[in-house]
Amino acid sequence: MNGMGKSPAEQHLVIFQEWGSGEAKIQGICDYGHDITISRIVDIRENLPELIDEPKDYITADFSADLVLSFLKHPDLLYYLAHLCADKKIPLIASGKKEPEAITPFTCCGLGRLPGLGNYGEQFGVPEFKTLVESGKIKRIQVWRGASCGATWQIIPRLIGLTPEAALECIAREVQYLCQADPSAFDPVSSESPLHYAGHAHARALRKSLDNHDHS
């Protein structure tokens, strides 16, 4: 992804995190993304006060990007970053957070296909598969879109050779083993944890692909 040549469609990301909180997602983007360059990672490794009066002491405004990803945990820092990005007219994704100035899917695999998110939005978000079934068993699953943590791609070898019914029965569980989301967080509307949400999102995607699968 970060090779010598530059694609005309290359997208530049800047990522903000605390104590490596986005490392799994960063690795997933590097392993499974293409035409995406992570231009800068800001990793805040300080014991932060409960209230931050001067967020600019931790986040400087000297960045530019096509898209910003936030894995910040402190609400004051996220609020400040969101308004910086709004001023710069840079879209900001902060999965699992509540911030009106940011795009905030419940999980990284809950990001819908939204305009203006470039290559990242095409490649990462709500999973999409193309499945080949042969002699009643899954022969191949192609990932068109998946979770930035990489779980979508990592589960595929565990599904190959299973019947569609067996794959549908186990995919949610397999994703939950790999999911990096905080299991203690709950959506008050659905009463789902991020782990359950991620598992169900992948199961729905697999079911949809099996309903339209190829035969060989």
Same domain, 98 and 37: yes
Same domain, 133 and 98: no
**pLDDT digits over 104-127, tens only?**
999 999 999 999 999 999 999 999
**pLDDT digits over 165-211, tens only?**
999 999 999 999 998 776 666 665 566 789 999 999 999 999 999 99
Q: How far apart are CA 37 and CA 33, in angstroms?
A: 9
Average pLDDT of the chain, as a whole number? 92
**Does residue 116 belong to any structural domain of this protein?**
no
Segment 39-49 shows an average pLDDT of 97
- Tokens 């699953």, residue? 141
State how far Cα 135 lies from the chain centre.
Answer: 34
Same domain, 83 and 140: no
* Spatial contact of 58 and 77, defined as CB atoms under 8 Å apart: yes
**Does residue 153 belong to any structural domain of this protein?**
yes
Picking from 53, 60, 92, the residue whose alpha carbon sits closest to that of residue 76 is 53
* pTM beyond cutoff 0.85: yes
Supply the pLDDT for residue 189: 56
Same domain, 87 and 135: no
CATH number at residue 186: 3.90.1010
Q: How far apart are CA 173 and CA 170, in angstroms?
A: 5
**Residue 2 confidence (pLDDT) above 50:** no
**Does residue 3 belong to any structural domain of this protein?**
no
Same domain, 32 and 95: yes
Supply the pLDDT for residue 98: 94
Backbone angles phi, psi at 17, to 5 degrees: -150, 170
CATH number at residue 23: 3.40.50.2300
End of a domain among 69, 89, 104? 104
Task: Please count the structural domains in the chain.
Answer: 2
**Does residue 32 belong to any structural domain of this protein?**
yes
**Model confidence band, residue 19 (pLDDT cutoffs 50, 70, 90):** very high
Higher pLDDT, 216 or 49: 49
Supply the pLDDT for residue 5: 47
- Kindly report which listed range (2-16, 94-108, 115-129, 152-166) carries the lowest average pLDDT score: 2-16
Q: Is 100 helix (H, G, I), strand (E, B) or coil?
A: coil
Same domain, 36 and 94: yes
Q: CA-based Rg of the chain, rounded to a whole angstrom? A: 18
- Tokens 């598992």, residue? 199
| Domain carrying residue 200 | 128-215
